Amino acid sequence: MTHVTLRSEFETLIDPYAPVAQVGTGFDFTEGPIWHPVDHYLLFSDMPGDVRRRWDARRGVVEVKRPSNKCNGMTYDAELNLIVCEHATSSLIRERPDGRREILASHFGGQELNSPNDVCVHSSGAIYFSDPWYGRMPVYGVERPRQLGFQGVYRVVPGGEPRLVVERNLFDQPNGLCFSPDEKLLYVNDTVQALI
């Protein structure tokens, strides 16, 4: 297995001749990979399987949470708490290392969020997340009617409520998102429009 480099800058990060190794199989649909920067392991979700798994070089792939509320995107905050998008609960949550779970966002304007999908954390502590309705479809979530009439991108400041960061109807299905290295730009993928 090999990879193709589209931009030469990528080769400063990954050797173009480095072998690509498969580290696990038997998953339904993997998403939300996040590397733990201190303990050096990878977490990833398998929404249809309703499970979160962990991979490290010593133990390989192990199951760490089932059911996982059909978790999708994950990231860490500055204190290395895990921030998780849950399709089954339509919530954005924080999991502390001791296992405590805290809901950060579940509603907007008195209505249940669609299904938080992907997430990133700004250095200010503000959390940004996308909210398409994929998690209300069978297989990837829990089929149920939508309360919101749009798919948004939100910002939650520490101790605050979710606030829209773009116009309500800008996106068909906002999906992955991330900041530029200087955090001046927020990039958001719209899967349906095939745009960033």
If you write DSSP's letter for every residue of 56-111 in order, what string do you get? ETTTEEEEEESS-SSEEEEEE-TT-PEEEEETTTTEEEEE-TTS-EEEEE-EETTE
Residues 165/195, Cβ–Cβ less than 8 Å? no
Indicate whether 3 pLDDT > 80.
no
- 1, containing H or E segment: none
Residue 2 in any domain: the answer is: no
Q: Using 50, 70 and 90 to split pLDDT, how confident is the model at 195?
A: confident
Residue 42 in any domain: the answer is: yes
**Residue 73: which residues within 8 A CB-CB, separation 6 or more?**
31, 32, 45, 84, 85, 116, 117, 118, 119, 129, 130, 176
Residue 144 in any domain: the answer is: yes
Residue 1 in any domain: the answer is: no
Which residue range is the domain that position 25 belongs to? 8-190
Count CA atoms within 13 Å of residue 182 on its CB side. 2
DSSP 37: T
Cβ burial of 124 (10 Å; 0-12, 13-18, 19+) is: exposed
DSSP 158: T
Q: What is the pTM of this model?
A: 0.92
If you average pLDDT over residues 26-33, what whole number do you get?
93
Phi, psi of 134 (to 5 degrees): -55, -35
Domain containing residue 186: CATH number = 2.120.10.30
Residues 34/40, Cβ–Cβ less than 8 Å? no
Residues pairing with 153 in the sheet? 130
* The total number of structural domains that make up the chain: 1
pLDDT digits (tens, 9 = 90+) for 12-25: 888 878 888 888 99
Q: Using 50, 70 and 90 to split pLDDT, how confident is the model at 50?
A: very high
pLDDT digits (tens, 9 = 90+) for 88-146: 999 999 999 998 999 999 999 999 999 999 999 999 999 999 999 999 988 888 999 99
Phi, psi of 165 (to 5 degrees): -110, -10
Residue 98 tokens, joined: 């001791």
Type of residue numbered 93: I
